Amino acid sequence: MKDNTESLAERSSVGPVGWVIACLWLLVAVVPFLYMAFTGFKTSDEMLTEPALSLPSSWAPTNYVNVLQSSFPRGLLNSVLVSAASIVLIVIIASMASWAFSRLRFRFAGLLMALVVAGLIVPLHSTLIPIYLLIQHLGLYDKLVALLFPYVAFALPISIIILTGFMREIPKELDESATIDGAGPFRIFYRIGLPLSRAGIITIAIFNAVTLWNEFVFAYVLTSTPANRTLPLTIWDFQGQYSSNLPAVMAALLLSAVPLVLTYMVFQERLVKGMMAGAVKA
């Protein structure tokens, strides 16, 4: 009986141990972030003499201004361009394939879907040398557009799997009646399939946006000059240039996190859901 009342009373509450654990983990998650923000406001001298987590003596954003005057804005713009263009292509190509897998009846459908699933587990590093050689061969080395090919190709398997799942839920009666009315498969895809898959399309767009925004290895291998670097590589170059100036690096890191922080503040649950979308069982 005691158990019973206790459980009902305490159900929505957390005991003292829970609070302690939650506070400890909050420190673990947030303190490195604070360290980054504080250090970004310090001068090099200050960093050498003061404890790491001390407040900066002045909140003058000198380092942040310096970062914004470097190639940082260019990297930001490049990242926006590459991510946006990739996402448009991913959405178009993946929704076409997903519509075929969820609706059309054709030979080898199972085999082709298995091939898509296999694409999920291909380690991209195993393809890096040949893709680098191919891009050079095509004369696309150090051009932003070169990134689109591997970005789209490697995003397709997961996007198709997510979207096929969504499209299977759309009632078949809708396109069956459209067929009877004489609409062809492309018209049905465009008029019925796409609009009804909006939620799924948004999900894969968010998921790929976060992934591509942070993408490192292809941009590292396929581009070299600051004008063609995406944001993660701008950070990489910046660190290489100012490796002895920790406050400058920390300022750059903080600024690089701002776009996602803002997105999180505006969209919250939707962003979280999109990020989780990759956790599908293949």
Partner 1 sequence: MSSRRRVRRTSNATVAVFLAPTFILLGVFLILPIVQSFQLSFTDWDGVAPVQQQVGLANWQELAHDPTFWLSVKNSFLLASVSLIIQIPIGLALAVLLDRGGRKFKVFKVGFFVPLLMSSVAVAFLFQGVFDFNFGLLNSLLNTLHLDAYAQDWLGDPNYAIWAVLSVVSWQFIPFYMLLFLAAMQGIPTELREASMIDGANKRQYTFGIQIPLIKGAIATAALLIIIGSLKYFDLIWVMTAGGPDHATTVMATYMYESAFKANRVGYGAAIASAMFLIVFTVSLAVMWLSRRSEKTS
The 28-67 site mask, x for binding partner 1 (CB under 8 A), equals xxxxxx-xx--x-------xx--xxx--------------
Stretch that binds partner 1, among 55-63, 66-74, 161-169, 209-217 (CB under 8 A): 209-217
Q: Could you give the C-alpha distances from 214 to 85, 88, 202, 211, 217, in angstroms and in order?
A: 15, 17, 19, 6, 10
Identity of the residue, 116 or 201, whose beta carbon is nearer to partner 1 in the bound complex: 116
Shortest distance (Å) from residue 56 CB to partner 1: 14
Q: Binding of partner 1 at residue 119 (CB under 8 A)?
A: yes
The only residue of 82, 147, 160, 201 in contact with partner 1, by rule CB under 8 A: 160
Residue 80's identity, in one-letter code, is V
Whole-angstrom distance, CA of residue 276 vs CA of residue 279 = 6
Cα dist. 264→126, 196, 231, 274 in Å? 33, 26, 18, 11
Please state the length of the chain: 282
Scanning residues 82 to 111, which ones bind partner 1 (CB under 8 A)?
92-94, 96-97, 99-100, 104-107
Q: Is 185 in the site for partner 1 (CB under 8 A)?
A: yes
**Least separation, in Å, of the C-beta of 6 and partner 1?**
6
Which one of the spans 7-15, 59-67, 162-170, 195-203 is the region binding partner 1 (CB under 8 A)? 7-15
Rounded to 10 degrees, the C-alpha dihedral 152/259/280/130 comes to 30
- Give the total of residues touching partner 1 (CB under 8 A): 98
Query: How many CB atoms are closer than 10 A to CB 11?
Result: 7
Binding of partner 1 by 214 (CB under 8 A): yes
Nearest residue (CB) to partner 1, 80 versus 260: 260
Nearer of residues 174 and 257 to partner 1, judged by Cβ: 257
Other Cβ atoms closer than 10 A to 187:
15
Report the nearest approach of partner 1 to the CB of residue 51 (Å).
Answer: 5
DSSP per residue over 125-152, as a string? GGGHHHHHHHHHHTT-TT-THHHHHHHH
- Residue 29 or 171: the one with the smaller Cβ distance to partner 1 is 29
Tokens of 97: 């394939």
Residue 277 · residue 206 · CB < 8 Å? yes
* Span 216-275, contacts to partner 1 by CB under 8 A: 216-217, 221, 231-233, 235-236, 239, 246, 249-250, 253, 256-257, 260-261, 264, 272-273, 275
The least CB distance from residue 69 to partner 1, in Å, is 20
CB of 65 to partner 1, least distance (A): 19
Q: Where in 126-145 is the site for partner 1 (CB under 8 A)?
A: 126-131, 133-134
CB 40 within 8 A of CB 64: yes
Give Cα 120 to chain centroid, integer Å: 16
